[in-house]
Amino acid sequence: MPGSVPSPARHNPLTDLTLAQLRERTSAKWQRYAPDVLPLFVAEMDTPLAPPIEEALARAVHSGDMGYPEGHAYEEALAQFAANRWDWPGISPDHMAGVADVISGYVSALALFTEPGDHVVVNPPVYPPFYSAVSASGRIVTEAPLGAHGRLDFDTIEEALARAAAAGKRVALLLCSPHNPTGAVHTRRELEHVAQLAHQYNAGVVVDEIHAPLVFAPHTFVPYLTVDGGDTGISLMAASKAWNLAGLKGALMIAGTGASSALERFRTIPHHGPSHLGAMAQTAAYRDGGAWLDELMAGLDNNRALLARLLSEQLPDVHCREPEATYLAWLDCSDLELPGEDPAAYFLEHARVALNSGPTFGTGGAGHVRLNFATHPDILTEAIRRLAASTSAE
């Protein structure tokens, strides 16, 4: 329009750091492999800290505020964020309890519904600690694999719940929402179907919702505790994935109104909560980090489109459904017919690109890799070039 002032370009946090700067990091993503490897595996983002988080931590360090956490600022910040972002009003800090992280939180929540030897239903392919952490707690992992389109399959869920009931065991369903690694965003109707089956088989429901802020339009995140029948469930949330805070431990267990007695039992059990700095960082993220998150999501959306284009042009035999959430892409490499059982191992050796091994995600993971696209577009471009070159050489 003549005379109009163009809107300023949105800042992209994924382009702030060079490869040389990233290689100075001492975290797992940048130290696990040799310097010639491009790491696109573990769920760390290649961004600086969001300014509100950096400022909160700097104040704490400057003043020596390194004591034990106190108060409910973290819970209040999440409640306000949930009301603003997900139209979830009325969530109360009284319904929350701090836990060390999401993994220990869902293990503790499952213990409120089950005993050792009982069954926990998961939906593979799914985040590997759903197997390792649950098994280590003495529960029996029972698979209800996703359907052909990478979404929840209610027939397999019901079969798994029925098997547990027939064995005379108590049962819980551990749900990943949004789903890792496929990036599927469960709809309200799907979540209500889960709740209906849970009530039918007297199953507890625990939901890992750590990726909730990372949903691409036009999809919308639906908190499980807000759906019809979901009030008896327990959710685990943290700001760590959306604001890149894996090294600052702290998460929140949130109980539906029908699970308040379970939450009260949890509060009587000795457990570790968030660290003081973890609570500070996550409070700042939820309270003041919304603008940075919006910039991040725009950058991730650009990378999501870039990845789709690069795969189409250079690796057309690799298939990937566009993720509706997260910064993780689930790549089906079966048609490449690579040697060995694990494409990630092949790509690490021949392309010097580190990806997550598909078989570790359970049934449905064979022939797949998980790729983290939360990086500089130039790094993503070079990684796909390397993958393509390694397959053409084969």
Query: Is 3.40.640.10 the CATH number for 53-288?
Result: yes
Can you give the three-state secondary structure of 163-209, one letter per residue? Answer: HHHHCCCCEEEEEECCCCCCCCCCCHHHHHHHHHHHHHCCCEEEEEC
Q: What are the domain boundaries of the chain?
A: 13-49+291-393, 53-288
In terms of C-beta density within 10 A (0-12 exposed, 13-18 middle, 19 or more buried), how is residue 149 classed? exposed
What's the pLDDT score for residue 89? 87
Q: How far apart are CA 324 and CA 35, in angstroms?
A: 32
Cα-flanking dihedrals φ and ψ of residue 356, to 5°? Answer: -80, 140
Contact 262, 112 (CB under 8 A): yes
- Segment 339-372, tens digit of pLDDT: 988 999 999 999 999 999 999 999 999 999 999 9
| Count of residues making up the chain | 394
Q: How far apart are CA 93 and CA 231, in angstroms?
A: 16
Stretches in the chain below the pLDDT threshold 70: 1-9, 393-394
Closest CA to 208 of 245, 179, 183, 239: 179
The 3-state DSSP class for residue 327 equals coil
The residues with which 255 forms a beta bridge, in sequence order, are 234
Question: Which residue is associated with the tokens 């892409």?
Answer: 329
Between the alpha carbon of residue 381 and those of residues 37, 48, 160, the distances in Å are 14, 20, 41
The 3-state DSSP class for residue 4 equals coil
* Count of other CB atoms within 10 angstroms of residue 110: 21
What's the pLDDT score for residue 9? 64
The 3-state DSSP class for residue 58 equals helix
Contacts of 181 (CB under 8 A, 6+ apart): 125, 126, 127, 326, 328, 330, 356, 361, 370
What's the pLDDT score for residue 1? 39
Question: Which residue is associated with the tokens 């029996």?
Answer: 140
CATH number of 13-49+291-393: 3.90.1150.10
8-state DSSP, 160: H
- Whether 13-49+291-393 shares its CATH topology with 53-288 is answered no
Structure tokens at 79: 């409640």
Closest CA to 350 of 336, 364, 360: 336
Q: How far apart are CA 116 and CA 277, in angstroms?
A: 34
Structure tokens at 155: 């027939």
Q: How far apart are CA 321 and CA 332, in angstroms?
A: 9
What's the pLDDT score for residue 182? 97
- Segment 251-304, tens digit of pLDDT: 999 999 999 999 999 999 888 899 999 999 999 999 999 999 999 999 999 999
